[in-house]
Homo-oligomer: A and B are copies of this chain.
């Protein structure tokens, strides 16, 4: 195998020009440089590639055979480089994000629509799961970016908060009189409560906060999705623990009402995370910028 592939780039140009000095001009080199390069290639292949004539050079049979292969090879590399450029343009590529269910519907969906409108050729791949599962996806390389509830305390991740969310309790008309005045945690815990499943990040957060205040909750209902929780509240099945931002429509329309707490639950944030150790792909970078408002 010839050691220096660069000789083939020169060979290709000389073959096209059928002239050493012509190739030299095209390559911004001098004629002796070309002459030596071709001689080196011929020496390494132990084959004469060009017949020298007074008015330039002509390919030998061997040379013109080889030229076919070399030109194809160089073209291939050129095509490869073009494909790479497409990645940079975001005219091709893939965006793989991990996101919690609730977030995906209320927060991420509009962003994804915007991204897709702007870069229609980027393939989208969305993984769902709990925060812990998503971080695992990130570390195993299955996704490039995770959007989840903070806090995420992991020194190997870049974490950027993008939106504050507030855990709150809501109820339907049936509980209106009962909850006309502010209530404390203790009081609230005695009412019929509607929560997400214990494994969910939101549930854990609120539950732990109550516990820190010495209040243990035992919900009447434990449901699989935020939507269900909201619907149960509307059907007056109890007092529901929801994210205020994701219940905005119901609250504004008066279909649901917010419990006045005597003590605030500290807000959480939605954050976007990526691995510190792995640079983001072009598509991921762009999406990250979109999320954090650049």
Listed in ascending order, the chain A residues whose CB lies under 8 Å from chain B are 1-2, 4-6, 8-9, 45-48, 51-53, 58, 60-62, 65-66, 68-70, 72-74, 76-81, 83-84, 87-88, 93-94, 141, 277-279, 281
Chain B residues closer than 8 Å to A1, beta-carbon distance: 78, 81
Chain B residues closer than 8 Å to A81, beta-carbon distance: 1-2, 45, 66
State A80–B70 Cα separation when bound (angstroms): 7
Which secondary structure dominates chain A's binding surface?
Answer: helix
Contact residue among B62, B70, B72, B84 (Cβ-Cβ distance under 8 Å from A65): B84
Contact residue among B47, B72, B73, B84 (Cβ-Cβ distance under 8 Å from A84): B47
Task: Pick 9 A–B contacts, CB within 8 A, sort by A.
Answer: A1-B81, A5-B8, A6-B6, A46-B88, A58-B141, A62-B84, A65-B83, A72-B73, A73-B80
Chain B residues closer than 8 Å to A9, beta-carbon distance: 5
Task: Give the residue name and chain of the B residue nearest to A76 (CB).
Answer: B73
Contact in complex: A69, B77 (CB < 8 Å): yes
Contact in complex: B61, A70 (CB < 8 Å): no
Chain B residues closer than 8 Å to A53, beta-carbon distance: 277
Contact in complex: A60, B8 (CB < 8 Å): no
- Number of copies of chain A assembled together: 2
Contact in complex: A5, B77 (CB < 8 Å): yes
Contact in complex: B84, A76 (CB < 8 Å): no
A151 to chain B, nearest CB (A): 26
Chain B residues closer than 8 Å to A73, beta-carbon distance: 72-74, 76-77, 80
Question: What are the 7 A-B residue pairs with the smallest beta carbon separation, nearest first?
Answer: A69-B80, A5-B5, A73-B73, A73-B76, A66-B80, A62-B87, A73-B77
- Which of A72, A73, A81 has most chain B Cβ within 10 Å? A73
- Which of A5, A9, A279, A281 has most chain B Cβ within 10 Å? A5
Chain B residues closer than 8 Å to A62, beta-carbon distance: 84, 87, 281
A135 to chain B, nearest CB (A): 17
Contact in complex: B69, A83 (CB < 8 Å): yes
Contact in complex: A94, B61 (CB < 8 Å): yes
Contact residue among B45, B48, B94, B277 (Cβ-Cβ distance under 8 Å from A279): B48
Chain B residues closer than 8 Å to A66, beta-carbon distance: 80-81, 83-84
Chain B residues closer than 8 Å to A277, beta-carbon distance: 52-53
Chain B residues closer than 8 Å to A83, beta-carbon distance: 65-66, 69
A136 to chain B, nearest CB (A): 16
A63 to chain B, nearest CB (A): 9
